[in-house]
Amino acid sequence: MSEPLQQADIDHEIAAVSADRADVRSDHPARDYAPYRSTLLRHPRQPLVAIKDPEAAELAGPVFGVTDVTPLDNDLTQQHVGEPLGERITVRGRVLDRDGHPVRGQLVEIWQANASGRYLHQRDDHSAPLDPNFTGVGRCLTDDDGAYLFTTIKPGPYPWRNHANAWRPAHIHFSLFGAAFTQRLVTQMYFPGDPLFPYDPIMQSVTDERARQRLVSSYVHDLSVPEWSLGYRWDIVLDGPAATWMEEGR
């Protein structure tokens, strides 16, 4: 959860925002989208720095994990001795390139709040209860068809300090890696019919309605596991006219 910003800081940053956004893709939101308050202080304002030795930077940078991806990593309901609370869901989809071809061997990571809308994070001070049987993180590799699969708990909405009475819709964060950490892409998946969509400045920053709808999963009854979980489908397109919105520069 973000710390509240001082109004003087916000006013200063709004005044300093350049009208020239030629470097921003026209089909992506402005990196300094004022209703999403944190972007005013977090969006890039300096030129990119050229790295003289990219390979050395990769060696010194973050890693994907200290162990190999295991079959249990994609089932967030089986990572603890006890069962987590909440509605079990299965999320399936494919990672595709701009031409609709599958992206194989892609590392897909997710993180999310629990069913009460709270993250297992030291900065999350939401008064909702933590779940001792739910960590809220998972990962898997896409198969030869570009498919991924997660079994988890449907996350709850939660308050945040962006503005008065601000609530985030239920969502799951997705992180996708290419061949290196510098190729990482981050986005969010939402659930159909959420009444908080019109009030969420993060989602509303995606002003193209078609692009916004591509962030919303679909309930697919045939993907539900009988007597176990409800099924949702969400495909991720990495580039092109039908690309999934990614959190550039945030």
Q: Choosing from 158, 190, 214, 232, which is the catalytic residue?
A: 158
Q: Name the catalytic one among 173, 190, 214, 232.
A: 173
| Nearest Cα residue to 112 out of 72, 77, 141 | 77
Strand partners, 236: 95
Q: Which tokens belong to 133? A: 């049987």
168 catalytic residue (yes or no): yes
Tokens 């709270």, residue located = 118
Q: Is 119 a catalytic residue?
A: yes
- Is 171 a residue of the active site? yes
Asked about 158 being catalytic, the answer comes back as yes
147 vs 102: CA distance, rounded Å: 8
Calpha distance 192→169 (Å, rounded)? 10
Task: Choose, from 119, 148, 190, 232, the residue flagged as catalytic.
Answer: 119
Q: Can 163 be counted among the known catalytic residues? A: no
Residue tagged active-site, from 31, 37, 94, 168: 168
Please give the Cα distance from 61 to 116 (Å, whole number).
Answer: 34
**What are the two backbone dihedrals, phi and then psi, of residue 2, each rounded to the nearest 5 degrees?**
-80, 145
Element (H, E) at 148: strand 147-153
* CA 212 to chain CA centroid, nearest Å: 14
Find the catalytic residue in 28, 171, 190, 214: 171
Contacts of residue 82, defined as CB under 8 A and 6 or more positions apart, other chains included, come to: 132, 133
Distance CA 30, CA 206 (A): 9
Catalytic positions, please?
A: 119, 158, 168, 171, 173
